[in-house]
Amino acid sequence: MITGEMMEEFVDKALDYASRKAKYAEVRYSSSERNVVMMKNGTISATGYFVDSGIAIRTLNKSISFSSINIPDWNLIRDEIDRTLRMSDKEGRDRFSSEHPVKDSWHVGQKKKVEDVAFEDKVKMLREVDDELAAEKITMRILSMNDNVEEEINVSSEGMSIKSILPKVSFSAMIGFMQNGNFEQGTIELGYSGGYEAIEEWKLDERAKHESDVLKRAVNAKKLSEGTYDVVAGPEISGIVAHESAGHPTEADRILGREMAQAGESFIKVGDRGRRVGSEIVNLVDDPTLDHSFGYYMYDRDGVKARKRYLYKNGLINEFLSNRESAGRMDEKSNGASRSSEWDKEPLVRMSTTFIEPGDHNFDELIEGVKEG
């Protein structure tokens, strides 16, 4: 593992070496520190503490190549760079879009720092939620609390130099309720960029009570007769639609065919911007700049500044999510959607926080036109 003390030296040395033999070179150092606590029906079932770090290298000559290494040995790092350069010399037509190289440093603030919250406090948080669920006679209760702090340095031969610190906290629950032989289950999934002040904002006891009530109604619900009904979708359903059915198809690497073998194609084609696919009152947004959202970032992995993107506007296909590679192939600017889940994963085009933008109707107005549903 490459530690913080030696990272600056390795990053600078690696960039200098790779830049001599590549039209474009990029070196990214990333380290993460993660904690996990899980509870099942009132008993701690698992805990974990994970520390990971390494260097990722990208080069571009005829094609783009990527590799990574976490061994703090310059000779091995140099060998890995040489391997990356050999791959980028293979025949190809890859190119990056032209972007202004950014020099910046950013972080997400914390009112209650992740490192200041003891293991015992996390257990107490989970136990309070479990007690609330148990009091509601919820028979299956699997709870998890996670936190992670990621530090990163990203530099390129074009002059990009970005440093960042991104703390995150998340809570999840899988719960089930059985009555008269009928069983229903549900989930709670919450994420926050910042510190443990998230717990107060989430109001977990209220959420636990609400989800318990939902399961109890569901387990006693009568089956609908077959037919055609109006549906008013809540956040879970509309979120799935926004992410899976509408969001993924706008990822430019899918549209261009790069993801065809790994994650599938898209119903959208390169020339489809402006094509109507929905109601004129529907706007669907991907926005990595929402304060404290779980998908928050200020710059993407390519060093492009993040911004709000209207993927569908007034029911029309409006914008594709792109990185510098896909934007280069389409002869346009990147809109900052280059992401990777870990230090050793190649940056790809991916969503951040994707949702259907609210309209001007309140809840009563949404349902007043529903005759049967």
Q: Which tens digit of pLDDT belongs to each residue from 234-248?
A: 899 999 999 999 999
pTM of the model: 0.92
pLDDT at 264 over 80: no
Lowest mean pLDDT, pick from 115-119, 208-212, 225-229? 225-229
74: number of Cβ within 10 Å: 14
Q: What end-to-end distance do the CA atoms of the chain give, in Å?
A: 57
Cβ proximity of 103 and 36 under 8 Å: no
What pLDDT is stored for residue 80 in this prediction? Answer: 97
pLDDT at 146 over 80: yes
- The predicted model gives 164-173 an average pLDDT of 98
Q: Please report which confidence band the pLDDT of residue 4 belongs to, taking 50, 70 and 90 as the band edges.
A: low
| pLDDT tens per residue across span 48-66 | 999 999 999 999 999 999 9
What pLDDT is stored for residue 257 in this prediction? Answer: 87
- At residue 317's C-alpha, the angle toward residues 314 and 323, to 5°, is 130
232: number of Cβ within 10 Å: 12
Q: Please report which confidence band the pLDDT of residue 3 belongs to, taking 50, 70 and 90 as the band edges.
A: low
Cβ proximity of 273 and 318 under 8 Å: yes
Judging by beta carbons within 10 Å of its beta carbon (0-12, 13-18, 19+), is residue 370 exposed, middle or buried? exposed
| pLDDT tens per residue across span 193-206 | 999 999 999 999 99
Report the share of the chain in percent with pLDDT over 90: 87
Instruction: Report the amino acid identity of residue 191.
Output: G
What pLDDT is stored for residue 223 in this prediction? Answer: 85
In sequence order, what DSSP letters do the residues of 55-114 get, joined into one string? EEEEEESSSEEEEEE----HHHHHHHHHHHHHHHTSS----PPP-PPPEEEEE---SS-G
| pLDDT tens per residue across span 270-284 | 999 999 999 999 999
Domains of the chain: 4-219 (3.30.2290.10), 235-364 (no CATH)
Q: Please report which confidence band the pLDDT of residue 316 belongs to, taking 50, 70 and 90 as the band edges.
A: very high
Q: Please report which confidence band the pLDDT of residue 1 belongs to, taking 50, 70 and 90 as the band edges.
A: low
| pLDDT tens per residue across span 346-364 | 999 999 999 999 999 999 9
How high is the mean pLDDT of the chain? 95
What pLDDT is stored for residue 2 in this prediction? Answer: 62
Integer Cα distance of 48 and 166 in angstroms:
20
Integer Cα distance of 270 and 189 in angstroms:
34
List CB contacts of 165: < 8 A, sequence separation 6 or more.
106, 107, 108, 149, 150, 151, 152
pLDDT at 299 over 70: yes
| pLDDT tens per residue across span 95-123 | 999 999 999 999 999 999 999 999 999 99
Report the share of the chain in percent with pLDDT over 70: 98
